[in-house]
Amino acid sequence: MTLRERIFHSPSRDGALIGVGDVVVLLIVAVMLYLGAQLALGTPAAIQGPNINLDPAALPFYALLSIGRMLIAYFLSLIFSIFYGYTAARSKSAERWLMPLLDILQSVPILSFLPVVLLSLTAILPQRTAVELAAVVLIFTSQAWNLTFSFYQSMRTIPTEYREAAAVFRFSPWLRFKQVELPFASMGLIWNSVMSWAGGWFFLMAAEIFTLGSHDFRLPGLGAYLQTAAAQGNVQALVIGIGTLTFIIVLLDQLIWQPLLAWAEHFKVSQVEDDNPTTSWFLDSLRRSGFARAVSRRVFMRLNRWLDKKLNRPPKSIPSLEAPETGKRSLLGWLILLALALGIGYGLVQAAGMLLTIPLAAWGNIATGALATLLRVVIAVGIALAWTIPVGVLIGTNPRAASILQPLVQIAASIPATALFPVLLLGLLTIPAGADIAAVLLMLLGTQWYLLFNIIAGASAIPQDLQFTSNLLRLSGWKRWKTLILPALFPYIITGLITASGGAWNASIVAEFTEFGGQISRVTGLGAEITAATAAGNYAVLLASTLTMIVLVVMINRLVWRRLYHVAEYRFRMDQ
């Protein structure tokens, strides 16, 4: 079967492009959004948050608060991604439900979902607790999905000989995870962790300060500082805040990400040693430090032995390469399914009643906006794909270029475009179609990094022996790209495209409706419909617009990206 046939005739694992799991999960999400909107109606009539101090002296404390929220959200995202991706990759029956759910979760527009989460939590929890939890949830949703897709992709593309060796040596599930699966996935997880932090910084402004009608939710933090400075048109405070954020990003790069990338060099799939491995001055300092060695020996090695003792149970039989299918469902399982079906049915009836209150003209605006936003997403993703492949390959395969470009890319990706965008918008509005160009630009700024970091991870993971072989065969130019680089990158490109397209749809909410210094810029689009409905507290239109965006993204994922995902899994594995 040719590559074209594989792409256009490749069914999903359950035998259908849109399976029962997709429909059921989509209905559950619709009911959850409706219940959230109902809870939101029970919040107090007016809520006023604390004032944000734009004095630069407040920035260190604000920065610590924001970093704390980012850390909590990141560790939750990492734990979620590993467990979720592992379960979906190891069990076909679980995959039929978990992957459609993941498609839908990453397609839920974050800034559309925030009002539902925030107002729902406010209705049942103290205000400050609710706002803190909502901020962590929003940052979590900007970090988790690309990590999960990356780990799932790594689990599905582990070389067959590695899995066979684990089965022959009777590795327990814990030992197989520790010695084979996690090391193979480490490079992708680290690069996507960098991307997750960049995504968290991007949405930090929206997470820490949010206005919905008479409800003014805000938390002291760096994101709230930047948002307040942008809203007041205080360029000086905005520059100081961005400078502080840039300093934090550089510090994290040197003390965390560079050491992790250098450490992950040990896990590259290669039969020869890399001539120019990634290095880190901080990691070298830790290796020479007696204190660090003592901490490693007394803390981490003891923790490792304790985990091995608790979790390393030899299997009773040789594990197969694929997890077995589950047996018949128990009576309790059928009762749970029945209760779930009844709950979904009741929620759907209520949600349909809310949707029926929307005028026909509003549905027309939603449909027109959906087509306009789809066009902008295609343009933004196309531009991103055009430049991220060559730049990502350069950074991932050339250590000298990486030492210069990698920190710059991380800084550029982590600076929230929502902080700079209002200033750029004022200049773009003076040219024809400036608002539409500005919308595409912001969507590009919010989506291109998902592609770039996945491509860098893929280029970094190309085995050195394959590169040596290509050199011996004197492959250069297009032949080298066609034979080695593009096939090796293909799984990572598809993972990046899935998360990048979802990021573009999310970014449309802030790209199509922008306010700076009292001046509003709005273009036709689904994101603008969501933002306007949020500002007006129109929960019916908000629900309809959000569901429309979810359905569109899921359809694109299932009809395009999932097919390409299966091609990547079966045609471009490292062992084929």
Does residue 47 sit within a domain? yes
Does residue 461 sit within a domain? yes
Phi-psi label, residue 518: left if phi above 0, alpha if psi -120 to 50, beta otherwise? left
Residue with tokens 């406010």: 122
Q: What is the pLDDT of residue 405?
A: 83
**514: β partners:** 521
Amino acid at 398: N
Give percent of the chain with pLDDT exceeding 90: 9
How much is the average pLDDT of 64-86? 92
- The confidence band for 120, taking pLDDT boundaries of 50, 70 and 90, is low
Please enumerate in sequence order all residues whose Cβ is within 8 A of that of 521, keeping only pairs 6 or more positions apart, or say none: 425, 429, 435, 438, 513, 514, 515
How much is the average pLDDT of 356-376? 90
Give percent of the chain with pLDDT exceeding 70: 74
Does residue 314 sit within a domain? no
How much is the average pLDDT of 355-370? 89
Q: Is the pLDDT of residue 274 over 80?
A: no
Does residue 407 sit within a domain? yes
- The confidence band for 348, taking pLDDT boundaries of 50, 70 and 90, is confident
Distance CA 267, CA 279 (A): 14
Neighbouring C-alpha atoms within 13 Å toward the C-beta of 390: 5
Q: What is the pLDDT of residue 18?
A: 55
Does residue 433 sit within a domain? yes
How much is the average pLDDT of 55-65? 89
Q: Any idea what the Cα angle at residue 399 is, between residues 398 and 401, rounded to 5°?
A: 70
Q: Is the pLDDT of residue 353 over 70?
A: yes
Distance CA 259, CA 188 (A): 15
| Domain count within the chain | 1
The residue among 4 and 137 whose pLDDT is bigger is 137
DSSP characters over 271-320? SS--SS----HHHHHHHH-HHHHHHIIIIIHHHHHHHHHHH----SSPPP
Distance CA 205, CA 420 (A): 12
Q: Is the pLDDT of residue 124 over 60?
A: yes
Neighbouring C-alpha atoms within 13 Å toward the C-beta of 491: 26
Distance CA 455, CA 409 (A): 13
φ and ψ of 50, to 5 deg: -70, 155
Residue with tokens 């999400």: 29
Q: What is the pTM of this model?
A: 0.74
Over residues 467-479, the pLDDT tens digits come to 778 888 887 888 8
Q: Would you give the distance in Å from CA 282 to the centre of its chain?
A: 28
Does residue 288 sit within a domain? no
- The confidence band for 383, taking pLDDT boundaries of 50, 70 and 90, is very high
φ and ψ of 19, to 5 deg: -90, 180
Q: What is the pLDDT of residue 71?
A: 93
Which of the given ranges, 103-112, 307-316, 318-327, has the highest pLDDT on average?
307-316
- The confidence band for 524, taking pLDDT boundaries of 50, 70 and 90, is confident
Please enumerate in sequence order all residues whose Cβ is within 8 A of that of 171, keeping only pairs 6 or more positions apart, or say none: 179, 180, 315, 319
Q: Is the pLDDT of residue 59 over 70?
A: yes
- What is the DSSP secondary structure assignment for residue 572, as one 8-state letter? S
Range scoring the smallest mean pLDDT among 20-34, 90-104, 430-444? 20-34
- The confidence band for 78, taking pLDDT boundaries of 50, 70 and 90, is very high
Distance CA 443, CA 434 (A): 14
- What is the DSSP secondary structure assignment for residue 50, as one 8-state letter? P
Q: Is the dihedral of CA 507, 510, 512, 516 positive or negative?
A: negative
Q: What is the pLDDT of residue 372?
A: 92
Residue 232 tokens read as 């007041």
Q: Any idea what the Cα angle at residue 500 is, between residues 238 and 455, rounded to 5°?
A: 100
φ and ψ of 530, to 5 deg: -65, -45
Residue 558 tokens read as 């299932």
Range scoring the smallest mean pLDDT among 304-318, 451-465, 503-517? 304-318
Amino acid at 532: A
The residue among 409 and 35 whose pLDDT is bigger is 409
- The confidence band for 413, taking pLDDT boundaries of 50, 70 and 90, is confident
**178: containing domain:** 19-271+359-571
How much is the average pLDDT of 432-441? 80
Distance CA 165, CA 575 (A): 14
Q: What is the pLDDT of residue 5?
A: 42
Q: What is the pLDDT of residue 325?
A: 47
Distance CA 78, CA 503 (A): 19
Q: Is the pLDDT of residue 350 over 50?
A: yes
Residue 398 tokens read as 């050339």
- The confidence band for 330, taking pLDDT boundaries of 50, 70 and 90, is low
Q: What is the pLDDT of residue 26?
A: 65
Give the dihedral of Cα atoms 43, 46, 50, 53; nearest 10 deg. Answer: 130
Does residue 402 sit within a domain? yes
**211: β partners:** 216
Distance CA 576, CA 570 (A): 8
Over residues 222-243, the pLDDT tens digits come to 888 887 887 777 878 888 888 8
CA nearest neighbour of 176 among 158, 195, 150, 192:
158
Does residue 304 sit within a domain? no
Distance CA 14, CA 95 (A): 9
User: In this structure, what CATH number is given to the domain that contains residue 528?
Assistant: 1.10.3720.10
Residue 539 tokens read as 């929960």
Q: Is the pLDDT of residue 395 over 70?
A: yes
Instruction: Give the C-alpha distances (Å, rounded to integers) separating 28 from 127, 153, 194, 338, 539.
Output: 27, 26, 32, 14, 18
Question: What integer best gives the mean pLDDT of the chain?
Answer: 77
Distance CA 465, CA 526 (A): 48
